[in-house]
Amino acid sequence: MHTTKLALALIMSSVPLRSEIAIVASLDVSYSQADIVCRGEISSVITLAPVGTTDVSGMRAPIDYHVTLSPDWCYKGGAGSGQLIMAVRGYDQIKGRPAKVGEYDLVFLKGAGTIKEMAAPWIRFWKTARPSGSDSAGGLPQLERDLVVLATTGSGGMPMRDALETLEEFNDPGPEAYAALAPLTRSEDGDARVLSAVIRAFAAVARRGGPGALRQPAFEELAIALRGRVQLPGDNTLERITYLLTSHPAAEDLGALEELSRHPIPGIRFSAMDGIRTLRSEGTIPFLVGQLDSDDVDVQYEAVVTLAELTGKGGDFGPGRTAFGRDPEKYKNLWKQWWAAGGLNEANARQ
């Protein structure tokens, strides 16, 4: 499946193991940067250099293609343009051809010439998701609506999975997606449960200024969908979950964050701990003391430095990552002794 990539910038701050995470690309961005967004069937794939062409070192060189799409619906531009010819530049020969004649795709193109440049990688689509020509909204909202229909009205399988993976790449899924995907969070298909829960959580976060009651159930739903998972569907699901857990967490997320801090996938565990640290809530102190005995040394360290930040204690109570790695028991025992000596009362007195 050709899919856009969610790019996340993980910028290490001066505090060990903290990450500031920002979404820098998404389907929303791809749409806004494209002049033409259409869906249709690939009708030809033309190689612009002989297959097997090599570079000066004798290695197979990347080659260019012209790929033609016969559009049957355009969400942005392209109306009445007939066939669309796309330039695919520098494609790795080892991967074969960039597309197959007959496959049905959604493309993002730019440029006014006969040969269009690709604004973003194209996405596999399905003919069964027919646009409702009378829909006056058009544009990106209709694209989202068509994907929701594809995800919720079929018999499952790849069309549903592909639609959910594409919907997952919206930074700001609308209230219709939030409502329509609710039944899928209880699907027998584990991948559908996870993908739909991630989408609904993004929709709830995007509505931060709206109904506050959406957020807590959406995050609890996500934690339930992730229970027992050791692998995740989709190319970008872990990054999306990381963003949800670490970017501006809210107090109502705490229950889900605590559950996910014990998740079998390390990236989810650490992201949940980072979200708890960002909350800076003294109410998490008992939980953090318990996490000193986690099987994950990174979780242990997050517990130690979060306790140091919450209580204002420095020195050996807040070691750097290298020092902690040399003797974790030393620093964990300091906090356990502090706790046994009534440290919570000390912390409460600081409030």
Q: Where in the chain is the domain with CATH 2.40.50.120?
A: 34-125
The residues, any chain, with a CB within 8 Å of residue 320's CB and separated by 6 or more, are 16
Compute the distance between CA of residue 84 and CA of residue 171 in angstroms, rounded to an integer.
Answer: 28
SS3 252: helix
97 token code pair: 């051809």
CA neighbor of 219 nearest in space, from 169, 260, 277, 264: 260
Report the alpha-carbon distance of residue 120 to residue 123 in Å, rounded: 9
pLDDT at 267: 94
Q: Are 319 and 334 in contact (CB under 8 A)?
A: no
What sign results for the dihedral spanned by CA atoms 342, 343, 346, 348? Answer: negative
In eight-state DSSP terms, residue 128 is T
Given a cut of 70, the residues of the chain with pLDDT beneath it are 1-25, 51, 56, 58, 79-81, 128-137, 154-156, 207-213, 346-351
Please give the pLDDT value at position 132: 54
**Element housing 149 (H / E):** helix 139-153
Third-level CATH fold of 34-125: OB fold (Dihydrolipoamide Acetyltransferase, E2P) (2.40.50)
Integer Cα distance of 157 and 298 in angstroms: 37
In single-letter form, the type of residue at position 346 comes to: E
Q: Which pLDDT does position 156 carry in this prediction? A: 67
